Amino acid sequence: MPFQDKALLKLSDIKNSFISNFLLKNYDKAKLEVVDSAKIYYWYYGRNAWHTTWIQRYLPNSMYNNLQSTKTYIESIRKQGSVFYINEMPSLVLKSKNFSLVVTQINTTCPLQDYSIKKNINILKKGTLLKDIVDSFKYNSPFWRNYQPQENSIIILYASNDDMLEKLKTTKLKIWQSQSYGKNYYLSWNITNKSISQASVLRIVKQAKSNIK
């Protein structure tokens, strides 16, 4: 069931009957097959209510597997006075036989920087239950060097194995900011001078692949 023009769904927010029933049947027994990385797109917005302070908000349906779908969705919800941002986000892909989980982190310049694979507990080994790996990303898990925020931090998404996830590379990731020329025109997008680092995600993938036999 591809999601080419739909948001990637947060694991804890899935309400679609087909997917929720599918997960109920498969989630508890799903085992890790492959660890990989991907680039996804995360949008958020600010409203300059006081003319001095921009308020950034995280909303459901804010992560997509391609840039065009992200822009299309933003056009459908845009309101006067809002400035939108789109971040290219590095993410960890945990692939099982029937579906994948996509892990990323917001409100940080280097997602998963504090996550560490423990040598004595190889949690990303092939055959590990996905639900156990998900537990390792909880905010107070011992796999974090420091406790993480409970909200608006670690995001775990569901992806069909048919979803086309863009490969994460070492090239600098982009952040776009919208510019409006009026409600009758599509938003214009400018690349900012900021970026999100993929270094930690690539590190984790490298470590995991070196351990998966």
Tens of pLDDT, residue by residue over 94-142, are 999 999 999 999 989 999 999 998 765 789 999 999 999 999 999 999 9
What's the pLDDT score for residue 187?
96
Residue found by looking up tokens 């011992």 in the block: 142
- Around 161, how many Cα atoms within 13 Å sit in the side-chain half-sphere? 9
Return d(Cα 172, Cα 195) in angstroms, integer.
Answer: 7
Count of structural domains, the chain: 1
50 pLDDT tier (thresholds 50, 70, 90): very low
Rounded to a whole number, what is the largest CA-CA distance in the chain?
A: 59
Give the pLDDT confidence score for residue 144 in this predicted structure: 94
Residue the block writes with tokens 């989630």: 27
In angstroms, what CA-CA distances link 79 with 65, 134, 178?
24, 36, 12
How many other C-beta atoms can be found within 10 angstroms of the C-beta atom of residue 191? Answer: 11
The answer to whether position 4 is within a domain reads no
* Residue range of the domain that includes 206: 9-211
Q: Does 108 fall in a domain? A: yes
For tokens 């993410």, name the residue: 91
Answer yes or no: is 115 within a domain: yes
Residue 30 lies in a domain: yes
**Alpha-carbon separation of residue 49 from 26, 53, 110, 126 (angstroms):** 46, 7, 29, 49
Quick one: DSSP state of residue 122? -
Domain membership of residue 20 (yes or no) is yes
Residue 101 lies in a domain: yes
Q: Is the residue at 134 inside a domain?
A: yes
Nearest residue to 190 via CA among 117, 93, 84, 91:
84
| 24/57: higher pLDDT | 24
Distance CA 68, CA 81 (A): 22
pLDDT confidence of residue 150:
83
Are 82 and 45 in contact by the 8 Å Cβ rule? The answer is: yes
Q: What is the pTM of this model?
A: 0.89
pLDDT of residue 16: 65
Q: Is residue 140 part of a domain?
A: yes
